Structure 1
Amino acid sequence: MKKQILLMVCATALLSSCRIYSSYDRPDVTTSGLYRDTASVNDTLAVTDTTNMGNLPWTEVFTDPKLQALIQKGLENNTDLLSASLKVKQAEAMLTSARLSFLPSFALTPQGTVSSFNHAKATQTYQLPVSAS
Protein backbone atom coordinates (compact mmCIF):
# COMPACT_ATOMS: atom_id res chain seq x y z
CA MET A 1 0.00 0.00 0.00
CA LYS A 2 2.76 2.42 0.93
CA LYS A 3 4.62 1.48 -2.20
CA GLN A 4 1.62 2.37 -4.38
CA ILE A 5 1.13 5.71 -2.63
CA LEU A 6 4.81 6.56 -3.03
CA LEU A 7 4.66 5.57 -6.69
CA MET A 8 1.60 7.77 -7.28
CA VAL A 9 3.22 10.75 -5.53
CA CYS A 10 6.41 10.39 -7.61
CA ALA A 11 4.47 10.02 -10.85
CA THR A 12 2.36 13.09 -10.04
CA ALA A 13 5.46 15.13 -9.19
CA LEU A 14 7.21 14.08 -12.38
CA LEU A 15 4.25 14.83 -14.60
CA SER A 16 3.51 18.19 -13.00
CA SER A 17 7.14 19.31 -13.21
CA CYS A 18 7.04 19.39 -16.99
CA ARG A 19 5.00 22.63 -17.09
CA ILE A 20 6.51 24.75 -14.31
CA TYR A 21 8.02 27.42 -16.51
CA SER A 22 6.39 29.46 -19.24
CA SER A 23 7.92 29.63 -22.71
CA TYR A 24 10.94 31.91 -23.10
CA ASP A 25 10.49 35.15 -25.04
CA ARG A 26 13.76 36.72 -26.12
CA PRO A 27 13.94 40.43 -25.26
CA ASP A 28 14.81 42.95 -27.96
CA VAL A 29 18.27 44.33 -27.13
CA THR A 30 20.50 46.41 -29.38
CA THR A 31 24.04 45.09 -29.20
CA SER A 32 25.77 47.27 -31.75
CA GLY A 33 28.74 49.13 -30.36
CA LEU A 34 29.11 46.97 -27.27
CA TYR A 35 32.24 45.02 -28.11
CA ARG A 36 34.66 45.23 -31.05
CA ASP A 37 32.21 46.07 -33.78
CA THR A 38 33.27 47.80 -36.95
CA ALA A 39 34.10 51.47 -36.50
CA SER A 40 31.26 53.96 -36.53
CA VAL A 41 30.75 57.50 -35.29
CA ASN A 42 28.94 56.60 -32.06
CA ASP A 43 30.96 53.52 -31.04
CA THR A 44 33.62 54.11 -28.42
CA LEU A 45 34.87 50.51 -28.25
CA ALA A 46 35.06 49.88 -31.99
CA VAL A 47 38.22 48.41 -33.47
CA THR A 48 39.58 50.46 -36.34
CA ASP A 49 42.79 48.52 -37.04
CA THR A 50 42.45 44.75 -37.36
CA THR A 51 46.05 44.02 -38.39
CA ASN A 52 47.96 42.33 -35.61
CA MET A 53 50.96 40.09 -34.98
CA GLY A 54 48.77 36.99 -34.90
CA ASN A 55 48.02 37.28 -38.62
CA LEU A 56 51.69 37.33 -39.69
CA PRO A 57 53.73 34.18 -40.39
CA TRP A 58 56.51 33.56 -37.88
CA THR A 59 59.18 33.93 -40.58
CA GLU A 60 58.18 37.57 -41.01
CA VAL A 61 58.11 38.28 -37.29
CA PHE A 62 61.49 36.69 -36.49
CA THR A 63 63.95 37.79 -39.18
CA ASP A 64 67.20 36.53 -37.63
CA PRO A 65 68.46 33.54 -39.72
CA LYS A 66 69.87 31.70 -36.69
CA LEU A 67 66.61 32.10 -34.79
CA GLN A 68 64.63 30.94 -37.83
CA ALA A 69 66.85 27.86 -38.11
CA LEU A 70 66.30 27.05 -34.43
CA ILE A 71 62.55 27.53 -34.69
CA GLN A 72 62.40 25.35 -37.81
CA LYS A 73 64.46 22.63 -36.09
CA GLY A 74 62.15 22.82 -33.07
CA LEU A 75 59.08 22.48 -35.26
CA GLU A 76 60.54 19.49 -37.10
CA ASN A 77 61.53 17.68 -33.89
CA ASN A 78 58.43 18.58 -31.90
CA THR A 79 57.35 15.31 -30.30
CA ASP A 80 54.00 16.73 -29.22
CA LEU A 81 53.22 17.73 -32.78
CA LEU A 82 54.39 14.36 -34.10
CA SER A 83 52.31 12.45 -31.56
CA ALA A 84 49.30 14.61 -32.37
CA SER A 85 49.81 13.84 -36.05
CA LEU A 86 49.99 10.11 -35.27
CA LYS A 87 46.81 10.35 -33.17
CA VAL A 88 45.03 11.98 -36.10
CA LYS A 89 46.17 9.15 -38.39
CA GLN A 90 45.05 6.61 -35.78
CA ALA A 91 41.64 8.25 -35.53
CA GLU A 92 41.31 8.21 -39.32
CA ALA A 93 42.17 4.49 -39.36
CA MET A 94 39.58 3.81 -36.65
CA LEU A 95 36.98 5.76 -38.63
CA THR A 96 37.78 3.73 -41.74
CA SER A 97 37.49 0.52 -39.72
CA ALA A 98 34.14 1.63 -38.30
CA ARG A 99 32.84 2.46 -41.77
CA LEU A 100 34.03 -0.88 -43.16
CA SER A 101 32.12 -2.74 -40.44
CA PHE A 102 28.90 -1.89 -42.28
CA LEU A 103 30.03 -3.76 -45.40
CA PRO A 104 29.15 -7.43 -45.85
CA SER A 105 31.70 -9.93 -44.61
CA PHE A 106 32.60 -13.33 -45.97
CA ALA A 107 34.51 -16.11 -44.20
CA LEU A 108 36.05 -19.24 -45.69
CA THR A 109 37.60 -21.67 -43.18
CA PRO A 110 38.76 -24.88 -44.84
CA GLN A 111 39.76 -27.79 -42.58
CA GLY A 112 41.17 -31.20 -43.26
CA THR A 113 42.11 -34.19 -41.10
CA VAL A 114 43.81 -37.50 -41.70
CA SER A 115 43.32 -40.24 -39.10
CA SER A 116 44.37 -43.85 -38.84
CA PHE A 117 43.80 -46.45 -36.08
CA ASN A 118 46.04 -49.50 -35.56
CA HIS A 119 47.80 -49.16 -38.92
CA ALA A 120 44.55 -49.37 -40.81
CA LYS A 121 43.82 -47.45 -43.96
CA ALA A 122 43.97 -43.68 -43.33
CA THR A 123 40.70 -41.80 -43.37
CA GLN A 124 40.72 -38.32 -44.83
CA THR A 125 38.06 -35.80 -43.86
CA TYR A 126 37.61 -32.38 -45.44
CA GLN A 127 35.36 -29.50 -44.49
CA LEU A 128 34.85 -26.28 -46.40
CA PRO A 129 32.47 -24.02 -44.43
CA VAL A 130 31.57 -20.67 -45.97
CA SER A 131 29.72 -17.96 -44.11
CA ALA A 132 28.46 -14.57 -45.17
CA SER A 133 26.86 -11.83 -43.15
Structure 2
Amino acid sequence: MQIKVINKSHHPLPQYQTPLSAGLDLRAVLEEPVALQPLERKLIPTGLYIELPDGYEAQVRPRSGLAFKHGLTVLNSPGTIDADYRGEVKVLLVNLSNDVFNIEDGERVAQLIVAKHETVEWEPVEELSSTERGAGGYGSTGKK
Protein backbone atom coordinates (compact mmCIF):
# COMPACT_ATOMS: atom_id res chain seq x y z
CA MET A 1 0.00 0.00 0.00
CA GLN A 2 1.19 3.50 -0.71
CA ILE A 3 0.66 6.37 1.73
CA LYS A 4 1.25 10.02 0.90
CA VAL A 5 3.80 11.57 3.25
CA ILE A 6 5.48 14.92 3.76
CA ASN A 7 8.83 14.62 5.52
CA LYS A 8 9.87 17.93 7.12
CA SER A 9 12.61 16.24 9.10
CA HIS A 10 16.20 15.69 8.04
CA HIS A 11 15.85 11.94 8.73
CA PRO A 12 14.90 9.18 6.29
CA LEU A 13 11.29 8.06 6.09
CA PRO A 14 10.24 5.46 8.69
CA GLN A 15 11.47 2.01 7.81
CA TYR A 16 10.84 -1.59 8.80
CA GLN A 17 13.87 -2.95 10.65
CA THR A 18 13.34 -6.53 9.46
CA PRO A 19 11.48 -8.00 6.46
CA LEU A 20 8.58 -9.27 8.61
CA SER A 21 8.26 -6.29 10.97
CA ALA A 22 4.75 -4.89 11.42
CA GLY A 23 5.86 -1.48 12.70
CA LEU A 24 7.78 1.33 11.03
CA ASP A 25 10.17 3.10 13.40
CA LEU A 26 9.43 6.77 14.11
CA ARG A 27 12.37 9.09 14.81
CA ALA A 28 12.48 12.13 17.08
CA VAL A 29 13.07 15.47 15.37
CA LEU A 30 14.76 17.69 17.96
CA GLU A 31 16.89 20.83 17.83
CA GLU A 32 18.55 19.70 21.06
CA PRO A 33 18.30 16.61 23.28
CA VAL A 34 15.22 16.35 25.50
CA ALA A 35 15.58 15.10 29.07
CA LEU A 36 12.56 13.07 30.14
CA GLN A 37 12.42 12.98 33.94
CA PRO A 38 10.93 10.03 35.85
CA LEU A 39 7.12 10.01 35.43
CA GLU A 40 7.33 12.99 33.05
CA ARG A 41 5.56 12.98 29.70
CA LYS A 42 6.41 14.99 26.60
CA LEU A 43 5.12 15.27 23.06
CA ILE A 44 7.96 14.39 20.68
CA PRO A 45 7.75 15.66 17.07
CA THR A 46 8.62 13.45 14.09
CA GLY A 47 8.45 15.95 11.22
CA LEU A 48 6.06 13.61 9.36
CA TYR A 49 2.64 14.43 7.92
CA ILE A 50 0.62 11.58 6.41
CA GLU A 51 -2.53 11.07 4.37
CA LEU A 52 -4.12 7.74 5.17
CA PRO A 53 -6.72 6.19 2.87
CA ASP A 54 -10.34 5.99 4.04
CA GLY A 55 -10.91 2.95 6.25
CA TYR A 56 -7.38 2.98 7.68
CA GLU A 57 -5.76 4.26 10.85
CA ALA A 58 -2.16 4.54 12.00
CA GLN A 59 -1.29 3.34 15.49
CA VAL A 60 1.64 4.81 17.41
CA ARG A 61 3.02 2.12 19.70
CA PRO A 62 5.97 1.80 22.07
CA ARG A 63 9.25 0.26 21.01
CA SER A 64 9.76 -2.87 23.08
CA GLY A 65 13.49 -2.25 23.62
CA LEU A 66 12.94 1.25 25.04
CA ALA A 67 10.13 -0.03 27.24
CA PHE A 68 12.13 -2.97 28.60
CA LYS A 69 15.55 -1.33 28.96
CA HIS A 70 14.53 2.21 29.96
CA GLY A 71 10.86 2.21 31.06
CA LEU A 72 9.92 4.50 28.16
CA THR A 73 6.50 3.98 26.61
CA VAL A 74 3.78 5.70 24.61
CA LEU A 75 1.32 7.11 27.14
CA ASN A 76 -1.85 6.76 25.07
CA SER A 77 -0.79 3.44 23.62
CA PRO A 78 -1.70 2.84 20.97
CA GLY A 79 -2.15 6.42 19.87
CA THR A 80 -4.56 6.56 16.96
CA ILE A 81 -4.04 8.72 13.89
CA ASP A 82 -7.30 8.99 11.94
CA ALA A 83 -7.50 9.13 8.15
CA ASP A 84 -8.74 12.75 8.22
CA TYR A 85 -5.85 14.07 10.39
CA ARG A 86 -3.30 16.17 8.49
CA GLY A 87 -1.14 17.54 11.29
CA GLU A 88 2.31 16.43 12.31
CA VAL A 89 2.67 12.92 13.70
CA LYS A 90 3.86 13.29 17.29
CA VAL A 91 4.64 10.72 19.96
CA LEU A 92 3.43 11.15 23.55
CA LEU A 93 6.25 9.54 25.54
CA VAL A 94 6.30 8.90 29.28
CA ASN A 95 9.25 7.81 31.39
CA LEU A 96 8.10 5.14 33.86
CA SER A 97 11.60 4.49 35.19
CA ASN A 98 13.41 6.06 38.14
CA ASP A 99 16.11 7.51 35.87
CA VAL A 100 16.24 10.50 33.53
CA PHE A 101 16.14 9.43 29.88
CA ASN A 102 17.73 11.69 27.27
CA ILE A 103 16.07 11.64 23.85
CA GLU A 104 18.43 12.52 21.02
CA ASP A 105 17.59 13.88 17.58
CA GLY A 106 17.03 10.96 15.21
CA GLU A 107 16.43 8.44 17.97
CA ARG A 108 13.82 5.80 17.18
CA VAL A 109 11.19 6.54 19.84
CA ALA A 110 8.09 4.62 18.73
CA GLN A 111 6.68 2.51 15.93
CA LEU A 112 3.85 3.18 13.52
CA ILE A 113 1.47 0.48 12.36
CA VAL A 114 -1.11 1.09 9.63
CA ALA A 115 -4.26 -0.96 10.02
CA LYS A 116 -7.62 -1.31 8.30
CA HIS A 117 -10.65 -0.71 10.46
CA GLU A 118 -14.40 -1.00 10.19
CA THR A 119 -16.99 1.72 10.76
CA VAL A 120 -19.57 0.66 13.33
CA GLU A 121 -23.30 1.06 12.89
CA TRP A 122 -25.09 0.42 16.17
CA GLU A 123 -28.06 -1.96 16.18
CA PRO A 124 -30.12 -1.26 19.32
CA VAL A 125 -31.60 -4.47 20.79
CA GLU A 126 -33.25 -5.52 24.05
CA GLU A 127 -31.18 -8.65 24.58
CA LEU A 128 -27.79 -10.09 23.62
CA SER A 129 -27.05 -13.73 22.82
CA SER A 130 -25.78 -15.84 25.73
CA THR A 131 -22.23 -17.24 26.02
CA GLU A 132 -20.43 -19.47 28.48
CA ARG A 133 -18.57 -16.46 29.89
CA GLY A 134 -21.64 -14.24 30.07
CA ALA A 135 -21.06 -11.00 31.98
CA GLY A 136 -17.86 -12.25 33.68
CA GLY A 137 -15.42 -9.37 33.56
CA TYR A 138 -11.96 -8.61 34.91
CA GLY A 139 -10.35 -11.78 36.27
CA SER A 140 -13.39 -13.95 35.65
CA THR A 141 -11.53 -16.50 33.51
CA GLY A 142 -9.03 -17.39 36.26
CA LYS A 143 -5.25 -17.32 36.49
CA LYS A 144 -4.29 -20.10 34.09
TM-score normalised per structure 1: 0.16
Specify the structure having the higher radius of gyration (Cα).
1
TM-score normalised per structure 2: 0.16
**Bigger strand share:** 2
Task: Indicate the structure whose relative CO is greater, using CA pairs within 8 Å and at least 6 residues apart.
Answer: 2
